[in-house]
Amino acid sequence: MSTSTTAGPVTIREATRGDLAAIERLLADAELPIAGVAEILTTRPEDFFVAEVGGDEPRIVGAGGVEVCCDNAVLRSVVVRPEWRSHGVGRDLVRRLVCHAESRGIHALYLLTMTAEHYFPRFGFERIERSAVPTEIAETVEFKSACPESATAMVKALA
């Protein structure tokens, strides 16, 4: 999947283990949780995607992943470098992650956010009480310790 902006083409691709440092740097710069990202990239790198620009020396400008838990998953670590926001990079990443989860037979995607509760409804996510989250989701690092109790919980049912 490619997105073209006035700043150049952006390609969304599956992440590799070699992308870990760049993804963690993006997350740290955006003050988002890093906990659990290395484990996902080590065990199931195909569950993470990156957005990159540049030809000969590509640079990662966005990332996102899903953490699968039984029949559900957590949408996590969606991040875009500030200068690449409002260019459709985040939108393309979220759409790709939703399609990926659907293709894997995931029933629902859950997420926690401190700052983007107004962004995710455009993709069909709805705000829910944290207590309504299934046990296997509530036991993930994201829900147990990486995000504060004040984070907004959201869900999107998948076909």
Residues facing residue 14 across a β-bridge: 49
CA distance 32 to 150: 14
Would you state the structure tokens that stand for residue 5, as one six-digit string?
Answer: 């902006």
What does the pLDDT look like over 43-90, one tens digit per residue?
999 999 999 998 777 899 999 999 999 899 999 989 999 999 999 999
129-to-69, 79, 124 alpha-carbon distances in Å: 19, 24, 16
Domain segments of the chain as ranges:
2-157
Q: Where are the alpha helices (DSSP H) in the chain?
A: 20-29, 37-43, 89-103, 135-138, 141
Model confidence pLDDT, tens digit, residues 10-43: 999 999 999 999 999 999 999 888 988 999 999 9
Place of tokens 């290395």: 38
Domain formed by 2-157, architecture: 3-Layer(aba) Sandwich (3.40)
pTM, full prediction: 0.89
